[in-house]
Every structure is written in C-alpha cells, then in structure tokens.
Structure 1
Amino acid sequence: MTEIDRYEESKRVTIVGMFVNTFLALIKIIIGLIGQSSALFADGIHSLSDLVSDVMVLFAAKHANKGADFDHPYGHERIETLATVILSVILMVVAVLIAYHAIENWYFGELLIPDTLTIYAAIISILANEGLFRYTMRSANKINSDLLRANAWHSRSDMYSSVVVLIGLIGTMLGVVWMDAVAAIIVAYMIAKMGVKWAWKSLSELIDTGVDRETLKQIERIISNVNGVKKYHCLRTRKMAGQIVLDVHILVDEHVSASEGHYIAEHVRGMLAERVDDLKDVTVHVDVSEHPEQFVSPKKMPPARDVIIKALNDHLSKYGDSAE
C-alpha cells in the first residue's frame, strides 16, 4: 500500500470517528448535566478527548506519510509515533481529572440520583463506540498503523467506560447512591491504563528499542540460511510506526568477487523482505573477515592498495623494474 493510500485510509476512518465522537460527547455531557450523573458527564469528557485525538490522528496521518526527503531520509513515520505519545498523555490526564472529580463529590457527599434519561445515553454510547472500534481496528490492521490502533482502543475504552457508567447508573437508581461515583473512578482507571500502555510502546519506539525476541530469531534464521553467508554480526533492529528497519554485516568467503558478494547481500535483503512482516528497510554490509563491532582506527588497519603499490614501485625502481 502506497503512502497516499495509507493517508487516505487513515483520513476516512478518522473523519467518521470525529463525527461519532462529536455526537456522543454532546449527548453525554448535556444529558450528564441535566440528568445529574457525574459518571455520564465524565464519560462525555472522555468522548471529547476522543475528538481531540481524532484531530491529532488526522494531522499525524497526513505528515507521517510524506515519505523520505532531504531533511528526513528515513521518512516521517516518527511523527505518528510522537502523536501516539501525546494522545496517550491526554488519556492519562483525562483519567486523573475524572477520578479527582468523582472522589471530590463522594468525599463531600454531593451524590445525586440521576435521571432515567442517562441510561439511554449510556446505551447509545456503548453501541456507537463498539461499532467505531471495530471499524477503526479493521482499517488499522489493513494499513498496519499503531496510531489508528491506539485510536481504535480509545473507542473501545470509551465503550467499556460506558458499560461501567450504565452499571453505576442502574445501581444508583436502585438506591446505592455511591455507585455513580465508583463508576466514574473505574472509568478513569481504564482510561489511564490504556494511556500508559500506548505511551510505553511508543516511547520504546522513539528510543529505538529493537524488535521482540521471536521476530529477532526469525530474522537470524533467515540470514543464516542464505547460501554464501558464513556468519553475521552487528545485527541491529528498530521500529518506525510499526515498521521494522534493520542493518546487518554478513561474512562471505574472502575469495569471492565483489559482484558475488553483492549478489549474496541482495539475496539476504530479498529473503528478509519476503518473509518478515512490516519490513521497511534493510541495509546489508559485506565483510570478508571478522572484525570488532566498534570503530577501528585507520592507523591500525593494513595499508591500502595504492600505498602498497607505491612502496613496491619504489623498491623495484632501484632495480629498473615496476609493479604496474
């Protein structure tokens, strides 16, 4: 899928989400205020944060899929990762505010019996958010976007929070007046948990954490099984918006030609691209002898060919001969 296709898919899904979240935020905030339910009002604020995240997703999807340029030779995918971190922080801040408001009302005894209308609003929110989650996740898997996945789970967390709100509303109407406040606190915990999860994953990507052990072992098996590869070293991996970037040094027979060494390297690249999912780029360096992974000072390396030939010519010139 091209970068343009990825952007168009992200744009379409996000715009649909914006309409749904705008509708839900207005319904829950207004009915939460009128119906005297702090849990439903908090859930409306959660939907409002969904709307903010949708705007961020739209911005990130546009700029993250520009492709490589002079200033960004590896592409702009990290914009998507950074946006995911910001979205996660918003989730955690919203969670703290919701919990604080609910605990404050509970502590000061400002607990009221909600109106029946609040139950209908909660049911509408459950159905709408579950539908939005499935719709967004389908597109996220189609274009392999962690940002869209984060946004999809944002909708799923909103659905779960609405379920908790519904239970709290029913309990409160049955006489257990503190259940609405407890529901709001549970909603806050669920929101915060999701925010921490996605923030951790995205921050790990920003500091170039490698792929998981299973994927790494798969990569190692593929490289080892390519004909002509004696050994490999300096294998490094990192991720950019869910896609893998790796580089590796392969050791080939010292007597092969430069073109054959290049052929073996291209074979490694091709096999990795064919068998490793979500591989963005591969760099293969060909070695004919093992060397340490750290930099080697040029002063400690053997002399270059032209230096050797010059020294040999200087020596042979004494006898009227030449190495040329």
Structure 2
Amino acid sequence: MGTRRHLIFSTGALLSGCAASGSPAPTPIAAPVMAEPVQDGPQPSIPFDRFLDGLRADARRAGVREATLNRALGQVRPLQRVIELDRRQAETVLSWEEYRDRIVSPTRIQAGQRHYAENRELLQRIGARYRVSPRVVVAIWGMETNYGGNTGGFGVVESLATLAWEGRRASYFRGELLSALRILDAGHVTPERMRGSWAGAMGQPQFMPSNFERLAVDFDGDGRRDIWDSRPDALASIANYFAHFGWREGEDWGIAARAPTGFDPGSADPNARRALRDWARAGWRRADGGALPQTDAEAGIVVPNRSTSGEVYLGLTNFRVIRRYNPPVNYALAVGLLSERVA
C-alpha cells in the first residue's frame, strides 16, 4: 500500500489483534520500551552516533529545525527489542476459519456496535465528506487498534532510527524516519506522544509516517492532524485513505458466494473480473442460494487463504480498496465481515 500504508508485520490486527480479539476486555497499550544495548546478530556498518549525524544532516536539508532534532534525537538509542522483532518475525499460521473467528469475534463486534452508536453523528459527517461507508471506517479502527485501545507502546522515532540504522531495509525506514521528523517539526504531535508499533505504525489508524504526511487530516479543525488523541482526526484520516484509493460510495465490498458445480478453488484467477450479472450467468449464486444482483458491478473470485470449509466470495471494487490499506486477503475479508456487523 504504490506504497503500502504499513508493512504486514506492523499491522495491529495481525499481531496484537489475533491475541486480543477473544478477550472480553480491550487489549492494554504496551508498556514503553526502554533502550537496550544491541549485542547479538549482524551489526550495522557504522556506529549509531555516526548514523544520527548523517540523519541530522539530511533532516536539516529537508527543512527540519535544529530544536526539533535536538528534542527528537537527543536521547535516542537503538532498541534491541525492535531488532529482535524485525529479525524474528514469527508467522502464526491460522486457518481462515480460526482467523475469522478470532478477529470477527462477538467481543469485537459488540465493541464496534457500541463505538458506532457513540460516534454516530461524527461518523455521519465523515461519511458525508469523504463518501466512504462509516461501517468500514469503524471496522478498520477495530481491526488495527481495538477501537483505539491498543495503539502501541514504542517510541516511533526510536523504533524507526533503530530499523534505519540496522540496515536490512535501511532506505525505507530512513525515509519513514525523515517523515516522522517533519511531522514533529510541524507540531502535529510531541516526540513523547508519538508512539506506535515496533515498526513505526502510528496512532489509532496505524499510519506509517509517510502516509500520515499524505493522507492524515485535521477534521476537528484545531490546526493539528492528531491521529493519536483526536477521534475525529483519526477516523476521518481512515476515510480519507479509502477515498484516495477509490472507494465507491453505495457499493458493497463483496458477497459470500456459492460456486457452480465443478469449481476448483485452486485454479481460480484472482485477477479475473466480471460483471455480477455475468457471474450469475456462469452459475454463481449467493452463499444462501439467493440470486446475485443483476448489475454491471465488477467482481473477482476471492478464496480465503488456508480455508477448511470451502468458503468463497466475490470481491467488488471496494474489496480491492480495503486491500490497499493492508494487502492480506484474510485481513480484507475480516474487515468486510466486521463492517457488516458493527452497524
């Protein structure tokens, strides 16, 4: 997410969300992580202090003020925990059904319904301005940070500096770090409040800094784009992201479908798109046996990863937009299903 919103490993839903969704209480924000000396594993080619000197020079050329650099970088040290998480990304392999039931859980649905009701007027204003369904905004909010309850406990500047210095994806993280410094310099947030995931995804929507610069909005009109503590800014920024990538107002995200006899999920072409009326002519129906809409809205076959039940969906254009927020198919399906249940 072009440039992705954030890397797969930084999404709250895939890491913290899986563990938290079955809990009756919101997942607490992780405790702040203190700097630790880097000891094991391959070492970067230059000392951290020299890395910071070069970073400061780049930031000055980008217009960041010296006072901002001193405040943001004065006490920064590499975080061993961030390097460990980056090098040892364990993949939790769940079936689609296990993932769906953990993520689109009764607890998350009920919390989403409550937050939707409490923020109905705000969500209606956001929906009217950006022409994006408030239901999908709330679903993303719930997937990413448990409705703002788990936004991450890592200092974003320190995490990004660690990853930019470590070197495996130095260019990417250096760019994100410079974006973060520009955000601080503009006064949208303080260094102390700029907290997020270990990979630098920030605030209630879990935006990476570069996407904050492009797509975060000041919906409450206070002069700052505050996706940490301003619910209007956070939710409107999600909506603006979807609008930017082509959300179609009034169109659903997809349809749980029943394939015709002889359909082989393994041979399905995920890039093949046809009008819903054409899928109907080919023998496709709704999962409950009902007829598909006789429209020209284009859809493609969506087969969940590691499904044990043979579920299949027809994903409309808005499903592809959800995947611009975070690409995994199962993530996007979970967002769609949760959006149907929160309102």
| TM-score normalized by the length of structure 1 | 0.29
Q: Which has the larger radius of gyration?
A: 1
Q: TM-score, normalised by structure 2?
A: 0.28
